[in-house]
Amino acid sequence: MSKILGFIGCGNMGQAMLGGIIKSEIFSPENIIVSRSNEDNLKALREKYNVNITTDNKEVAKKSDILILAVKPNIYLTIIEEIKDTIRKETLIISIAAGRSIKNIEELFGEEIRLIRIMPNTPVLVGEGITAICPNRKASKEDIEQTMAILNSFGEVEQIDEKLMDAFIAVAGSSPAYVFMFIEAMADAAVKEGLPRKSAYKMAAQAVLGSAKMVLETEKHPGELKDMVCSPGGATIEAVLELENRGLRNAVMKAMEVCAGKARRM
């Protein structure tokens, strides 16, 4: 693409996105401009990615054809107040802020804008993220396609209705925390059985990774895949029974219900 891609803010999530975009060659570094308030962090970004840098958010807003707002939700008002009179009407704005709805962002800009709200999860840091996108009514088909191309550079993408964003947060945005807890618990049990800690974490994490790939690549129902592991009278079905007795499914479903409810109130 010959268009200019801008980032206002570029923390861990922004850098993960930036790395994927450059690696996939969707944008070349000379067509990317990034602003941050910390000059040392900016210099580190230039050294690592060879992108254009500035501390001036207005410069990024003015130059960008696609502008990614990668700042914390609590400073959105400040940033938008700073750039809203500078940004061009044809610029596509991509927001990654949790708790900032399309309507809220439109109101902050005070005029109609081309906007796509996205919600990536932390595995984008290793190129295995899942991102939900919700376009506003001004975003064109081309805007959506360009956004999906960007997001596909560091994982998978699903377009959903904005009313489902809280459900997405529960099932994908927050769920890495649940999975990390599951891996930690499995590793602790393995250590109790005598395995070295480092090996236990590797084995547990690889088992989760492989199981997830089986769901995605075979497209079989998770229950069917579970049944394939459970031999009659075997050890696995005993473990499954214990998990059922301990309420694993109920605990996960209730946790996600609480998570989605909290997201709705943010």
* Confidence at residue 38, expressed as pLDDT on a 0 to 100 scale: 86
C-alpha angle 179-182-183 in degrees, rounded to nearest 5: 90
pLDDT by residue (tens digit) across 181-226?
999 999 999 999 999 999 999 999 999 999 999 999 999 999 999 9
C-alpha 106/C-alpha 55 separation (Å) is 25
34 pLDDT more than 80: yes
Give the helix/strand (H/E) hosting 238.
helix 235-245
The CATH T-level fold of domain 5-165 is Rossmann fold (3.40.50)
pTM of the model: 0.87
1 pLDDT more than 80: no
129 pLDDT more than 80: yes
Work out the pLDDT band at 146, boundaries 50, 70, 90. Answer: very high
Neighbours of 35 (CB within 10 A): 24
Domain spans in the chain, listed from the N-terminal domain onward: 5-165, 173-265
* Confidence at residue 237, expressed as pLDDT on a 0 to 100 scale: 97
The CATH T-level fold of domain 173-265 is ProC C-terminal domain-like fold (1.10.3730)
Strand order in the sheet with 32-35: 52-54, 32-35, 5-8, 66-69, 92-95, 114-120, 129-135, 155-159
pLDDT by residue (tens digit) across 36-62?
988 898 999 999 999 999 999 999 999
